[in-house]
Amino acid sequence: MLLIHHVSICVTDLTRARRFYGDVLGLREVPRPDLGFPGAWYAVGESQELHLIVHPPSKTMRGTPEIDGRDGHFAFRVSSYEETLARLRQQNVPLIESPRNKTPWAQIYVTDPDGNVIEFNVERGT
């Protein structure tokens, strides 16, 4: 059996990224060993993590903060579409809503401050 343990993404400004993932999205930062380069780890659900890695800008960016759900991205499963939408709007996060599409779940797409695409999804009707 395979389970995803963590997803790592590159960021250019750790303070700005921490503000987004910790304050805006509400993820809980967890201890990270000194790996010889800056970064931060966040708990996601019961046993998964999101790892932020600071890397030179030439190797991190999609080149745009434009929201594109067809570009490489990762997805968070959320318990409430409306609550997630309200939280993102309250934090003035640009987003694309996709409550009705060909998948079995409603989707919201955003980008973080470095242009990494993030999907939030929930089974329809929740």
Taking only the tens place, the pLDDT of each residue in 40-75 is 999 998 899 999 999 877 676 777 888 988 898 999
Find the helix or strand (DSSP H, E) in which 91 lies. none
Check residue 43 and give its pLDDT: 97
Q: What is the pTM of this model?
A: 0.90
Q: Which run of H or E residues covers position 90?
A: helix 81-90
CB neighbour burial string for 18-38, b if at least 16 within 10 angstroms, e if fewer: bebbeebbebeeeeeeeeeee
Q: What is the CATH number of domain 6-123?
A: 3.10.180.10
- pLDDT score recorded for residue 69: 87
Q: What is the pLDDT of residue 125?
A: 67
Distance CA 88, CA 23 (A): 11
Nearest partner of 105 among 63, 72, 69, 71, judged by Cα? 69
Averaged over 10-14, what is the pLDDT?
93
- Residue with the larger pLDDT of the pair 1 and 23: 23
